[in-house]
Structure 1
């Protein structure tokens, strides 16, 4: 008797479910399309709705030029998350976008985290993951299911007490729901401590991405994280005022040479409006336009680039490796998240 095939893996995006096989191009593994980290009134650390047309135009251009298929949006609770705005950007650009849940580092923790136990925090995350992020739109109230728990933040080599509670809660929520955890390691520091806390709750390192490791010039730390099974995020590509891309390339090549290509992630972490191309910034496309050509020149072939920019982030998000890209003629509508599709 023929057994039915299992359903194909599906990603939850801000515009609905997206079958994994439709993600045929690069993925930006750690970005912000809408956020508000302003605490001074100066307004630089903001990507508001007034910037959304510019954001959508950038993504649409990258879709046309490079086949950009997906943006993993990491703006969580307390960071100015605006899911309806994300949906508008996704529909306008034709690029799929996922949403996140969780809490950033301690400075941005919301009042709901104060004095609450790990179990209570985990319950809040599980409820939002299973019920969806409640959003008010022009047509009523909708719910969007997040695809990642992140970016869960800490600063320094050791998380603070509140940050440790949030990390542990994130791990428990991940175990309960199957979502991965992506972290913010301030200036790249504290990744091993984050991994220890998350894995200490029973979360497999393969479901964890340690963030901002391109800001840390410690190849041995990167190798140790990857050897443990965690993903190592080189996700601030183009932010030359923090670390030069030449150093990022050296660090990435060291990780690849150590045999950990299947644990590398790449992105630009656009986190303020001044980074947009319309404001003379490097934009979301810096990775694709500038950094990947340098990686190619250093010897990376297209199969390796596909692994790092598509297969790795999809494996993190779903636990499923989509396998090598198989070029085939595809109607443009099939690739467009604005076109309703059955999973």
Structure 2
């Protein structure tokens, strides 16, 4: 069994040093019952967005769309290759409202098995968990909390994610609803289910700019993802640099990740949407980070930290 750390992309495993400049949380394809008419389902548009990201200096994207939300698993490798950008795909399961009651019922009780299969063997068709697998494998597990807490669904999915993590060493990315319940998530995953905190990525923390919670999560050892500058309706965007600066001053620059979280076609800029889309992360936000926090912090946030957050030993699988 090899102890080498690798990052699992849709085109195969790579060394962490090959990942490069990374958008740590975004979406190339996404279909949600809560976002009717705003699906990301066009491979041509996905390639255009990725190429624009690459033109701004991007080399990798973590695609957090989990099972059941229209990942277009069979097209991810093609899109990655066409744009020349590494793509990390996600297994996992979102809130039931996003996936729909019928699909949730079909996978209930078999989530851990599904997650491990997608990490080790290949991604399944989103509409049919029993369909043959594709060749692209997931490189992370995506789960979701509830608003200011963890409901029964969240606990069940996180328990399955922890089981899959222990079988594979895969990192677990957590959607925090409104940026809340970060400490509840860590209490469940890390204290009760024995997932090492450095294998947990907490997302959307910019939506709840509670500096004390941010600091506690960083002190615990989790990675903190501030994502969503492409979602312009989030009024907390203007606090982002202050939140990052506070964490850097507290000695936690090595815990920070940034992502675009483009979830609707309207949020893309390259295909006629309002934008600003994935390129905004590097064309606008990275220069601000460099100017206000320094080049060393910017390199940590966009290169070094993602390479550590998404690397795994895969337990020989």
Would the aligned equivalents of 2:203 and 2:227 in 1 still touch at CA under 8 Å? Answer: yes
Residue 35 of structure 1: aligned partner: 30
User: For the residues of structure 1 that align with 2:189 and 2:99, how far apart are their CA atoms?
Assistant: 18
Q: For residues 45 and 106 of structure 2, what CA distance do their matches in structure 1 show?
A: 40
Match of 1:13 in 2: 9
Q: Does 1:294 align with 2:288?
A: yes
Instruction: Find the counterpart in structure 1 of residue 303 from structure 2.
Output: 310
Change (3 A) 1:274 1:117: closer
- Aligned to 1:193, the other structure's residue is in SS state helix
Q: 1:280 — aligned with what?
A: 274
* TM-score after normalising by structure 1: 0.82
| Contact 1:159–1:193 (8 Å) recurs in 2 | yes
Give the equivalent residue in structure 2 for 1:83. 73
Aligned equivalents of 2:213, 2:41: Cα separation in 1: 36
TM-score by length of 2: 0.88
- Displacement of 1:269: 0.2
Match of 1:48 in 2: 41
State the alpha-carbon separation in 2 of the partners of residues 222 and 19 from structure 1.
Answer: 29
Query: Does the 8 Å CA contact 1:245/1:291 hold for their aligned counterparts?
Result: no
Q: Report how far residue 281 of structure 1 moved.
A: 0.8
Contact 2:178 2:204 in 1 (8 A): yes
Whether the 8 Å CA contact 1:134–1:144 is kept in 2: the answer is: no
TM-fit CA distance, 1:115: 9.3
Output the CA distance in 2 between the equivalents of 1:88 and 1:64.
18
Unaligned runs of 5+ in 1: 1-5, 321-343
- Provide the C-alpha distance between the structure 2 equivalents of 1:72 and 1:91, rounded to a whole number of angstroms: 15
Deviation at 1:154, TM superposition (A): 1.9
**Contact kept? 2:77, 2:136, Cα under 8 Å:** no
CA distance in 1, matches of 2:186, 2:99: 20
Moved more, 13-22 or 159-168: 13-22
Helix, strand or coil at the partner of 1:47: coil
1:191, distance to aligned residue in structure 2 (A): 1.2
Structure 2 alignment gaps of length 5 or more: 127-131
